[in-house]
Structure 1
Amino acid sequence: MSLPQRAGALSGPQIGLKTDLLPAKKKERIEEVTLLRAFAFLAITLQHCIAEYIYRADILQPDAIMLAMLFDFTRFGTPTFVFLSGLLLFYNNNSGKLAYWPFVRNKLTAIYLPFLCWTVIYWIAVQLISFGQLGNPADWPRTLLHQLFQPTNGYHLWFILMIFQYYLLFPLFAFAVNKVRRKLQEMPGGASFRSVFLIVAVLGALYGILMWLSSYRMPDWAAEWGGFWADVLSYRTYYFVFYFFYFLLGAVCAFGLQRWRRFVENGFIGFGFAFIALYIWQGHEFLNYSTEQMNLNFAGYLRPLTFVLIVFQLLVLYGIVLVVQKKGGAARKVMHFIGTYSFGGFLAHAFVLMLISSITRPLVLTGYHLPAAALTFIATAAGSIALAKLLSKLSFGHWLIGTTGKQAKRNRMEAAPVKHTFPQ
């Protein structure tokens, strides 16, 4: 498989291993990022559509098993967004000079302001559905403030709180990574690449240990310690440290983009077999430990087996994206469109799913939960992306979808079709 060639891509002699660790003087547009965003958005949307059906009392076992396997297949969504955050942050800020407060203000406008707006929207929607009104006005400050720190009405918005921690702490990450880069630059090319591989392996092992502790020790610690520490451990999915490996993997990709692409392409078949084996293994755990209903906890982000599965799936997905962008055609155009508006779609998809569920929940769907989930997914994904596109046309749209609309307009004016990528 050869690398795709596009206008603006790097050309000339083959890049050496040592040079690959450094960003190009003239930055290449990372076209595959938009496609990865699209796949991640679709995966997250499918997860939530599956969760809408898999625990219903009238579901039959064949439907439950198939939905569980689909759910397991989509776990790459959130880690992929974290990976893209690291990739773009390091790729776009590799000079070592960062105007911190302007940088944070930009992220507040582009990321946190839409989070605030959608938090209010979901809060109002749940209040109206639960009580038929906005509840007791005296409780508004307390309940709304709770949603800003522990979003449950917009159950997917926890991701914004988590990813924003990387933006706030990015100078510290950049300082550490740049120190390592300077050390690597002093090494011969081959030794440099081997050192990067060793560093990634060590970080992966440490992260695997953290995932093991998260799965098999921290629940017991929370029950034993109680009080404040129980709350801290119970909400560990909100903390950036529990996703740091994907973020730093994005940094590796950012500083060695061409080498990363070759690595993915050369190992594509091996990564694919590894993913299939891990996917079967985790599916066996699903069936082995699920009784009356499927236990989706066995596909949790913070489990060591799921972590290894996601890493191989991410590598396979990156390889697939390289093929899709090389082949072009309708599939590439559709995925680019979805990727362009995926941030707004991500924020809105739970709201669209809420509207669809108000119709499907009263229905008796015994024997049809699998096709119902598939149709719900198609309607939710299409509806949320269409809503994001519509909002991008409105003067106040940036309050709800950030800078997506403005960036899409700029992209249409450029020859290269790469769009704005979330998270940045």
Structure 2
Amino acid sequence: MIRKPKILEIQSLRGLAFLAVVMQHAVAHYAAVPEMQLGDGVMMAILLVLSKFAVPVFVFITGLVLFYNDKDDFHYGVFIKKRLSDILLPYLIWSVIYYGINHGWYDLWQFVQLAFTGKASYHLWYVVMIMQFYLLFPLWRYAVRWITRKLIGWRGVAVLLLAAAAYIVLMGQVYVIGQVLQEHPIPVLTELFNKYADRNALYYYLYFMMGAAAGLHVEVWNRFVLRYRIIYWPVFIALYGYFISVSVGAFHTSQGLKYNFYHVFLLRPLMAVFLISSILVVYHFAILCARQPTSRMNRLFTWIGMYSYGAYLAHAVTLRLGYKVDHFFLLALPVTARMLIVMGIAAAASVLLTAILSRLPYGKWMVGIHVRKRALAKDTE
């Protein structure tokens, strides 16, 4: 069987998205410290808005990889078994760890609830959300394949554009949908569209569809990204400036100077436009990196991307380590500098931990990847 060539940009994309996740969580922590000054708040707004692409890019990558590697002899049992071992099992193990750290061991039923909803730790919601795409992949596969067969060429592009327009409209109705289901309760769905709306896969479908389009037509997608940068880059820059402005403007309240970033919530119409442009911008950057495969930057992002899932699961622990270092050694520095240092410590420690665990006999259970020495040597050549 002839294997498809690797998409060189994928690991760089994963690495960039992982670093963006760590930055967001570091910003969230330091935005609440009493030493924050207005200048720190502005810098954190700049960095936070810049890093908002993380989740959409991860969802995009999921769609891209699934459809790029899709074969005619698809077997759902084999497919889901691999996701359960590579994605869900490490998630459950880390859920146990975080539950013990955050809650102690006194209520098994509470742990089951927190694990099912992704609330054992603040960052685990993403796994609950992305698992919905895996579980429903046969439906996605059928729909995308039907569209690809029936609507080729410009018709397929039109469908994607309509999906984008519908998604932007949907983002404006998130609150309304939640209210309707609150007034007319439906088991499971009411909670999924209210309390757990941030982990409802429906609210991220466009990024998955973009990834599917890229995975099915990689060369066409790359040409599109390179050809139309004159369109999406200005959109990205304009909305980047806008969201920084509204975020900083929200710092000033009648109760004094407080720092909040509710204007950059993911599930908003204008934010959706910004995130669509962000995916294109980050992918463009990844293409440029891939064109220089031996450059230090590309090798670094690729190396981080290789271990990104395990590092994602672990980074809430390594951030705690970074906060300890901050408490003992960094308090004399500006808050922004402290945040960046702690982010670097957490990112490096979680990636290194994942790299070590991936080489142990049962380390895959915790990080979702097993790296053989021969494969590692080949990847680093």
TM-score by length of 2: 0.91
What CA distance in whole angstroms lies between the structure 2 residues aligned with 1:121 and 1:239? 24
What CA distance in whole angstroms lies between the structure 1 residues aligned with 2:333 and 2:270? 31
Q: Which residue is equivalent to 1:314?
A: 279
What CA distance in whole angstroms lies between the structure 1 residues aligned with 2:34 and 2:329? 12
Secondary structure of the structure 1 residue equivalent to 2:131 = helix
Correspondence 1:196 to 2:156: yes
Q: Which residue is equivalent to 2:246?
A: 285
Choose 1 or 2 for highest CA Rg.
1
Quote the offset at 1:221 in angstroms: 5.2
| 1:45-100 alpha-carbon deviations (Å, 9 max, x no partner) | 111111110122331111012102211110101111100100111111142x3111
Correspondence 1:246 to 2:246: no
Correspondence 1:111 to 2:87: yes
Quote the offset at 1:231 in angstroms: 6.7
Do the aligned partners of residues 372 and 223 (structure 1) sit closer, same or farther apart at CA in structure 2, a change above 3 Å counting?
farther
Counting only pairs closer than 5 Å after superposition, residues 134-213 of structure 1 correspond to structure 2 as 134=104, 139-184=106-151, 192-213=152-173
Counting only pairs closer than 5 Å after superposition, residues 19-418 of structure 1 correspond to structure 2 as 27-95=4-72, 97-127=73-103, 134=104, 139-184=106-151, 192-214=152-174, 216-218=175-177, 229=190, 232-291=193-252, 292-328=257-293, 329-360=295-326, 365=331, 368-406=334-372, 409-410=374-375, 412-413=377-378
Contact 1:37 1:342 in 2 (8 A): yes
Quote the offset at 1:372 in angstroms: 0.5
AA matched with 1:85: T
Q: Which residue is equivalent to 1:8?
A: none
Quote the offset at 1:362 in angstroms: 7.9
Quote the offset at 1:403 in angstroms: 2.2
Contact 2:41 2:248 in 1 (8 A): no
What CA distance in whole angstroms lies between the structure 2 residues aligned with 1:100 and 1:114? 21
Do the aligned partners of residues 78 and 299 (structure 1) sit closer, same or farther apart at CA in structure 2, a change above 3 Å counting?
same
Contact 2:57 2:279 in 1 (8 A): yes
What CA distance in whole angstroms lies between the structure 1 residues aligned with 2:376 and 2:231? 36
AA matched with 1:47: Q
AA matched with 1:315: L
Quote the offset at 1:41 in angstroms: 0.4
Do the aligned partners of residues 172 and 270 (structure 1) sit closer, same or farther apart at CA in structure 2, a change above 3 Å counting?
same
Q: Which residue is equivalent to 1:19?
A: none
Give the root-mean-square deviation of aligned CA atoms: 2.4
AA matched with 2:236: F
Quote the offset at 1:332 in angstroms: 1.3
Do the aligned partners of residues 382 and 411 (structure 1) sit closer, same or farther apart at CA in structure 2, a change above 3 Å counting?
closer
101-110 or 284-293, larger mean C-alpha shift: 284-293
| 1:401-423 alpha-carbon deviations (Å, 9 max, x no partner) | 112425x8536447x97xxxxxx
Q: Which runs of 5+ in 1 are unaligned?
A: 1-24, 128-133, 185-191, 418-424
Contact 1:87 1:251 in 2 (8 A): yes
Secondary structure of the structure 2 residue equivalent to 1:56 = coil
Contact 2:20 2:51 in 1 (8 A): yes
Quote the offset at 1:319 in angstroms: 1.1
Quote the offset at 1:230 in angstroms: 6.0
Secondary structure of the structure 1 residue equivalent to 2:153 = helix
Quote the offset at 1:233 in angstroms: 1.1
Which stretches of structure 1, 4 residues or longer, exceed 4 Å deviation after superposition?
A: 218-228, 361-367
What CA distance in whole angstroms lies between the structure 1 residues aligned with 2:181 and 2:331? 39
Contact 2:193 2:200 in 1 (8 A): no
What CA distance in whole angstroms lies between the structure 2 residues aligned with 1:358 and 1:379? 11
Contact 1:285 1:298 in 2 (8 A): yes
AA matched with 2:92: L
What CA distance in whole angstroms lies between the structure 1 residues aligned with 2:355 and 2:211? 28
What CA distance in whole angstroms lies between the structure 2 residues aligned with 1:81 and 1:41? 9
Q: Which runs of 5+ in 2 are unaligned?
A: none
Contact 2:147 2:156 in 1 (8 A): no
Quote the offset at 1:140 in angstroms: 2.3
What CA distance in whole angstroms lies between the structure 1 residues aligned with 2:194 and 2:28? 24
What CA distance in whole angstroms lies between the structure 1 residues aligned with 2:186 and 2:153? 46
Quote the offset at 1:177 in angstroms: 0.9
Q: Which residue is equivalent to 1:422?
A: none
Secondary structure of the structure 1 residue equivalent to 2:361 = coil
Quote the offset at 1:217 in angstroms: 3.0
Quote the offset at 1:358 in angstroms: 3.6
Secondary structure of the structure 2 residue equivalent to 1:327 = coil
Contact 2:31 2:260 in 1 (8 A): no
What CA distance in whole angstroms lies between the structure 2 residues aligned with 1:364 and 1:90? 46
| 1:99-136 alpha-carbon deviations (Å, 9 max, x no partner) | 11111111100110000100011111223xxxxxx35x
Do the aligned partners of residues 45 and 53 (structure 1) sit closer, same or farther apart at CA in structure 2, a change above 3 Å counting?
same
Number of aligned residue pairs: 373
What CA distance in whole angstroms lies between the structure 1 residues aligned with 2:215 and 2:170? 25
Quote the offset at 1:363 in angstroms: 8.2
**Percent of aligned pairs with the same amino acid:** 30
What CA distance in whole angstroms lies between the structure 2 residues aligned with 1:230 and 1:126? 23
